[in-house]
Amino acid sequence: MATKKKNPSAVALGGLGGKARAKSLSGVERSEISSKAAKVRAEKLTPARRSEIAKRAVAAREAKKKGGT
Residue 12 one-letter amino acid: A
Total count of domains within the chain: 1
Tell me the per-residue pLDDT of 28-63, one tens digit each, with 9 for 90 and over: 999 999 999 999 998 999 999 999 999 999 999 999
d(CA 49, CA 44): 10
CB 53 within 8 A of CB 45: yes
Classified as helix, coil or strand, 15 is helix
Domain hosting residue 40, numbered range: 27-69
Instruction: Decide if 3 is inside a domain.
Output: no
14 pLDDT above the threshold of 90: no
Nearest to 35 by CA among 27, 45, 47: 27
Read off the pLDDT band of 67 (50, 70, 90).
Answer: confident
Instruction: Decide if 62 is inside a domain.
Output: yes
